[in-house]
Amino acid sequence: MTPLPQELSPAELAQRLARGEPVCLLDVREAEEVALAALPGAVHIPLRSLPARVGELDPRATIVVYCHHGMRSAMAAEWLVERGFQSVLNLAGGIDAWAREVDPTMPRYT
């Protein structure tokens, strides 16, 4: 049985980024959502496109998956772990939690 991906809080992600830890930010939202708010340097692969584009990701990298509230990213993270990705974390609460807890200047949407 494959273990479920762990969650990472927005504050924990901010700390990792501030320390310069190498992480791949994977945004699985739709393009319209990314246009409203995004984390700098994130790789954008919509959830529905992930099976076709999984080869673009390094299975040995630490990957932090995020979406709007954390549901789609949880599914994507679990899917990646099931395919042998070593270090996959789901951003708890998604980009909405990031905007509330880390960067209040980031636009929020519904």
For 82, what's the count of Cα atoms within 13 Å in the CB-facing half-sphere? 7
Q: Which of 8, 37, 67, 92 is catalytic?
A: 67
d(Cα 55, Cα 28) in Å, to the nearest integer? 15
- Residue 67 designated active-site: yes
17: buried, middle or exposed (CB in 10 Å: 19+, 13-18, 0-12)?
middle
The residues assigned a catalytic role are 67
